[in-house]
Structure 1
Amino acid sequence: MKVLHTADWQLGKPYGRFTPELRAALTEARFDVIDTLGKAATEHSARHILVAGDIFDTEGPEDRTIVQAVSRMERHPCHWWLLPGNHDFARNGGLWDRVRAKAGDRITILTTPEPRELEDGAWLLPAPLTHRHNLDDPTEAFDTTQTPGARLRIGLAHGSIRDFGSRGETNNQIPPDRARRASLDYLALGDWHGVLKIDARTWYAGTPETDRFQNNNSGHALLVELSPGADPVVTPLRTGRFHWLIRERTVSSAADFDADCAALLSETDAPNTLLQLTLAGITDLTDRVAILAKIENDLAHRLRFLDLRDENLVGRPTENDLAALDVEGTLGIAAQKLNALSQSAGPEARIARRALERLLVEYNREDQA
């Protein structure tokens, strides 16, 4: 038996830090990934898609968000099993009553912990959350849950196997050996946004469409092949459209940076890439200006989004740099004073370096005009 395991869609996520155009693209990608999941299930003969919580980003999404989600799911012949998580927890008269009113027969909403028989002898044990933060282990009842005639027992839950600190929820704690304790053939988890194997029978699928800068192997779903008495065969499938990359580079010259850029662009799908780029190092002032110009005038336009962090990329003026500014009058005097101040140990040194750099940029711009 094959199932597709996914989680943490967080439909309706606002992406407030981005431009309206990028917010719209990221939002649409999260709806599109529902179709990607449905097609993947059909392609791999998985009749069931298990969604381990946080289908929606809040417990009060707009009607359009609900309708888009339901209509996309119902375009595919598989069955969708939806578990409330900590962002979209179950409560009477809440979100899931609204979803249920619009959903058809291919969607089952698991707002109660009763086991469900997916197929003959294949039982699903859900652990829906009823509060954002639960002090109790949501999977504790799995150990004693009866599944008559079971050939397969599959757990579905949303919570933390371990303390993820600031990167994940510290409530809704689940013991790492729950699959063994409850005789589960597979425990499908949500909450952690990347693919994470806890043991052979316990996995996080992560979010199918990456939503933040974090190196956690996100943008996947898990194809799970189950056989009675055997460990499952789990295969990550790439589902995400956008790639969120974190790159840190120590730069020594503009030529080196040009080579780094060429390598980056050759290995990425630039129009669908969001990049957090941190630069460090010491270069000639002219090279630093050239590097930043390359980023501003070329790299930033190729990528979907660029978050540049260049505070630790230091440009030190050479004799040639200063000679270019060695002119009479106020400009020359300013250049000499800024250069002296930039080499001091005082708090103004960093500001002086930036001012000297800007002076060189503007002088060259005027000289070329």
Structure 2
Amino acid sequence: MTAFRFIHASDLHLGRRFANIPQPEDGNIRGRLMEARHGVIARLAQAARDHGAAHVLLAGDTFDTATPSPSVLRQALTAMAEDLDLTWWLLPGNHDNLTNAEPLWERLSAEAPATVRPLLDATPRIMTETACLLPAPVTHRAPGRDLTEGLGAMPSPDGAFRIALAHGGVTDFEDTGAHIPPDRAARARLDYLALGDWHGRLQIDARTHYPGTPEQDRFKHGRRGLCLAVSIEVPGATPEVTEVETGQFWWTEADLPVQAGLDTAAALDRLLPPSGRRDVLMRVRATGWASLAQRADLVRAIHAAAPDFAWLTLNAEALGALLDDVDLDTIDHAGALRQAAETLKTEAENPDLSAEDRGVAAEALARLYAYVTEQPA
């Protein structure tokens, strides 16, 4: 018996619109992110070829909604049909579950090429002469039960690899009974349990893995998306699992500590990645204390660097204000602007106000300073 090799991926979320990402006036970051998700299909196919795999297992949420546009669906199926030696196995997840997305799966079943196999019921499928796929499709967005419970009773040919495909959480914080037990692979005599739902890479045990999404869509995980190339020598052997980077975009966050006297523009320059910025979405979180001049320099530096990036933004909510008369003199020595600045300074330093209200006053003062000094706010 030869080793069985396959690609495990999940949570492609094809068609996601990224409405949470502000669209710059001179760019199309949402369009680029949507296109990168479609491009993952080709990168998964290449990963399969590189690792000698003839099967790609998609563990749910292939589509972001129950009603993807006709172009999203057709273009996905067309891309999956390009390599006739590669079979794609699609499991309904919570976003594209069997109930809400019934028309989607009906269309997909009718239009899918021979290389695409939708898994619409919990019935074993023969993948090869030596491998059996045991699917646990998601029936409802929140099914309220463990859909992998029946895997142990699913039959498979004697001596065949038992590969299961499911979508859901292993840890159930609300104790609803819907979680997947961490030892499901052992209970169901599985050689491998391919899971989806968690968007970051996570290994539960040697036979149970989440690959995360192959193209990241949030700052939470701090690395590019990937898939897993899995090889199992013989039934019962420990799987060899290799991480394969597939993501185009890198979503990252970084802290920028600020203190009195720091050249904030230079500090930012040291923090930013030196290359590959076009495919980086970055959120800089400024902490500590800054004068109005330091803050204005930092904001100006962010604005100057932003065109290099797919998306770059500054979060200054945790940046305290060091306010002195020098900054106020820069705004105005007297008159209405000076009076407004002093009022804002008083509010920003008033311990009787909430932290949020003090922050609003400090932000307003910083914007006034930036306006007067003709720097972007």
Shift in alpha-carbon separation, 1:183–1:289, aligned structure 2, 3 A: same
Shift in alpha-carbon separation, 1:276–1:355, aligned structure 2, 3 A: closer
Alignment of 1:174 onto 2:180: yes
Give the equivalent residue in structure 2 for 1:14. 17
Letter in 1 for 2:267: A
Mapping 1:1-369, distance limit 5 Å: 1-18=4-21, 19=23, 21-76=28-83, 77-91=85-99, 94-163=103-172, 172-215=178-221, 219-228=225-234, 229-252=236-259, 253-256=261-264, 258-266=266-274, 269-296=276-303, 298-325=304-331, 327-347=333-353, 349-365=358-374
State the shift of 1:210 in Å: 0.6
Are the counterparts in 1 of residues 222 and 252 from structure 2 also a CA contact under 8 Å? Answer: no
Letter in 2 for 1:113: A
State the shift of 1:319 in Å: 4.7
Are the counterparts in 1 of residues 223 and 252 from structure 2 also a CA contact under 8 Å? Answer: no
Gaps of 5+ in 2: none
In structure 1, distance between residues paired with 2:40 and 2:82? 13
Are the counterparts in 1 of residues 265 and 297 from structure 2 also a CA contact under 8 Å? Answer: no
State the shift of 1:150 in Å: 2.8
Partner deviation per Cα, 1:108-167 (whole Å, 9 max, x = no partner): 1111211112111211111112222222321112112221223311111111111267xx
Secondary structure at the counterpart of residue 292 of structure 1: helix
Are the counterparts in 2 of residues 193 and 218 from structure 1 also a CA contact under 8 Å? Answer: no
Are the counterparts in 1 of residues 265 and 298 from structure 2 also a CA contact under 8 Å? Answer: yes
Gaps of 5+ in 1: none
Partner deviation per Cα, 1:247-275 (whole Å, 9 max, x = no partner): 22321254255234334222x62111112
Are the counterparts in 2 of residues 193 and 216 from structure 1 also a CA contact under 8 Å? Answer: no
Secondary structure at the counterpart of residue 180 of structure 2: coil
Secondary structure at the counterpart of residue 314 of structure 1: strand
In structure 2, distance between residues paired with 1:241 and 1:62? 23
Secondary structure at the counterpart of residue 131 of structure 1: coil
In structure 2, distance between residues paired with 1:171 and 1:72? 38
Are the counterparts in 1 of residues 9 and 227 from structure 2 also a CA contact under 8 Å? Answer: yes
Shift in alpha-carbon separation, 1:119–1:333, aligned structure 2, 3 A: closer
Are the counterparts in 1 of residues 185 and 207 from structure 2 also a CA contact under 8 Å? Answer: yes
Secondary structure at the counterpart of residue 42 of structure 1: helix
Partner deviation per Cα, 1:191-234 (whole Å, 9 max, x = no partner): 11111100000001111111122126561100001122311010
In structure 2, distance between residues paired with 1:311 and 1:139? 43
Secondary structure at the counterpart of residue 265 of structure 1: coil
Task: Name whichever of 31-40 and 101-110 sits farther off.
Answer: 101-110
Shift in alpha-carbon separation, 1:344–1:132, aligned structure 2, 3 A: closer
In structure 2, distance between residues paired with 1:152 and 1:284? 64
State the shift of 1:351 in Å: 4.4
In structure 2, distance between residues paired with 1:49 and 1:343? 59
Secondary structure at the counterpart of residue 57 of structure 1: coil
In structure 2, distance between residues paired with 1:9 and 1:201? 22
Are the counterparts in 1 of residues 345 and 362 from structure 2 also a CA contact under 8 Å? Answer: yes
* Greater share of helix: 1
Are the counterparts in 2 of residues 284 and 317 from structure 1 also a CA contact under 8 Å? Answer: yes
Shift in alpha-carbon separation, 1:227–1:291, aligned structure 2, 3 A: same
In structure 1, distance between residues paired with 2:56 and 2:123? 18
Are the counterparts in 2 of residues 125 and 154 from structure 1 also a CA contact under 8 Å? Answer: yes
Pairwise CA RMSD? 2.5
Letter in 2 for 1:240: G
Letter in 1 for 2:64: D
Secondary structure at the counterpart of residue 150 of structure 2: helix
Are the counterparts in 1 of residues 224 and 248 from structure 2 also a CA contact under 8 Å? Answer: no
Shift in alpha-carbon separation, 1:327–1:234, aligned structure 2, 3 A: same
Are the counterparts in 2 of residues 288 and 314 from structure 1 also a CA contact under 8 Å? Answer: no
Shift in alpha-carbon separation, 1:318–1:226, aligned structure 2, 3 A: same
Task: Name whichever of 314-323 and 197-206 sits farther off.
Answer: 314-323
Are the counterparts in 1 of residues 40 and 215 from structure 2 also a CA contact under 8 Å? Answer: yes
In structure 2, distance between residues paired with 1:293 and 1:25? 26
Letter in 2 for 1:142: L
